[in-house]
Amino acid sequence: MKINNICCIGAGYVGGPTMAVIALKCPEIIVTVVDSNIEKINRWNSNNLDDLPVFEPGLSDVIAKTRNKNLFFSTEIENSIDNADMIFMAVNTPTKTYGEGKGYAADLTYVESCAKQIAEFSKSDKIVVEKSTLPVRTAERIKNVLNLNNKKVKFEVISNPEFLAEGTAINDLFKSDRVLVGGESTESGKIAVDKLVEIYQKWIPDNKILRTNVWSSELSKLVSNAMLAQRISSINSISALCEKTEANIEEVAKAVGMDSRIGSSFLKSSIGFGGSCFKKDILNLVYIARQYKLEEVAEYWENVVKINNYQTFRLGEKIVDLFKKSNDKTTITLLGWSFKKDTNDSRESATIYLTNQLLKYNFLINVYDPMVTKSRIIEDIKSQLESSGKKKNEIEKIISKVKIYKNGYTALTNSNLAVICTEWDEFKAFNWNKIFNSMKINSWVYDGRNILDRDKLEKIGFNTFFIGQ
């Protein structure tokens, strides 16, 4: 089988950028990204490249070179599946909110629905590629769904997990640390793996393409994310200790990171990790461990999430302790809503949880983020309040305390406290002298990312708090 047409189901943070780069590197292949969300597809097709649904540095340049040449975005799911030789599944796999595994296991509803669509619309043999982050042995489950719903077509299911970091996704795709391709050891399984490998070989060196069995591939993704998150929680736990002593977390992290056995990556203390993968994948790992009666393993990884939650909570408590006895209305400006810089993704952002914590008190909250929309911010707050059991009228009243601004300076005017929640470079470039003059007397800066110059801020006149210092 020659791969002439690729279909990707899911036009989100994984599917869109990944398919754009494949289209760029493989101009001979027609790549179609499909999604049932018409608004999202319309934005992918927008003439205004600043209006793409996914913000990634460098993405718009790739889209400009490939769209409507060999890269297409469509809601025509049936035809796209039927025409494809290879189908990527890049749909959401959130944590279950119901039934067995609630709060831990991955919800495979979208994955199974996707598999049923592939089975229904396929009239010829297909290679189906797992791109979503999935629990171990999901490929087997997908293949069962495919074969149950279409006995005339032969399907090969292979695992090709993404290792993209939002904010650097395009560079990660161009210069991957590794590409993992897991398949069955059968002859047809090996052929399917080879077909996908041939695509990546157009720009990825052979020594960075790893062939594994399906189960190793699926588990590797979960473990990779879990271990990265573990490093963040580890350094954040030490930041709390530093604040009780005369140690400085930045100095400690630098010293530890210079050990060649450890390295410096993911040793930056912050208000806590976020994003769609870290928490979800760890909880899934916890669930899998408990399924196999490995309670000690489960507890170990669950503590990574607990430390992360604790880090966000204790920062919130410091803010509450500082202002809860104030007689005046306290205005707190949160700078950054996305879970990290250079992305408009706010899923599981620590800022959401911090906001929910602060809204329990009589604080006024201002929010500014250069890329996350007002509607997204409001929706994030609403979802969090709903999950905590708040009723509609209560939610509207609480949200009335929140104002969202399109300009950081305006958001900070007449504020008591500025909280750096996301490490946007823009915040480092702010004129903090100007901001000091616009804020209320005795104003504070809480740097939840340790990106600002503390000495300069204090010379200006700010009271400051830096994590782990």
Instruction: Give catalytic status of residue 277 as yes or no.
Output: yes
DSSP at 50: G
Q: Are 346 and 337 in contact (CB under 8 A)?
A: yes
**Residue 90 has what pLDDT?**
94
Q: Are 158 and 127 in contact (CB under 8 A)?
A: yes
Q: Are 196 and 158 in contact (CB under 8 A)?
A: yes
Residue with the larger pLDDT of the pair 276 and 428 = 428
3-state secondary structure of 237: helix
**Residue 136 has what pLDDT?**
66
For residues 401-416, average pLDDT: 97
Name the nearest CA neighbour of 18 among 26, 194, 139, 84.
Answer: 26
Q: Are 236 and 307 in contact (CB under 8 A)?
A: yes
- Angstrom distance (rounded) from CA 194 to CA 158: 11
pLDDT band at 144 (very low <50, low <70, confident <90, very high): confident
If phi > 0 it is left, if psi is from -120 to 50 it is alpha, else beta; for residue 68 that is: left
Pick the catalytic residue from 7, 242, 277, 421.
Answer: 277
pLDDT above 80: residue 137: no
Query: If you average pLDDT over every residue of the chain, what do you get?
Result: 94
- Angstrom distance (rounded) from CA 371 to CA 384: 20
Provide the Cα torsion 369, 375, 376, 380; round to 10°: 110
pLDDT (tens digit, 9 = 90+) per residue, 369-381? 999 999 999 999 9
- Angstrom distance (rounded) from CA 38 to CA 44: 10
**Residue 327 has what pLDDT?**
64
**What string of DSSP letters covers 10-41?**
--STTHHHHHHHHHHH-TTSEEEEE-S-HHHH
- Angstrom distance (rounded) from CA 368 to CA 435: 14
Half-sphere exposure at residue 225, Cβ-oriented, CA atoms within 13 angstroms:
27
What domains does the chain contain, in order, with CATH numbers?
5-212 (3.40.50.720), 278-466 (3.40.50.720)
For residues 87-105, average pLDDT: 89
- Angstrom distance (rounded) from CA 334 to CA 422: 9
pLDDT (tens digit, 9 = 90+) per residue, 146-175? 988 888 899 999 999 999 999 999 999 999
- Angstrom distance (rounded) from CA 2 to CA 72: 20
pLDDT (tens digit, 9 = 90+) per residue, 278-287? 999 999 999 9
- Angstrom distance (rounded) from CA 263 to CA 383: 38
Q: Which two tokens stand for residue 419?
A: 């909280």
- Angstrom distance (rounded) from CA 208 to CA 111: 28
**Residue 412 has what pLDDT?**
98
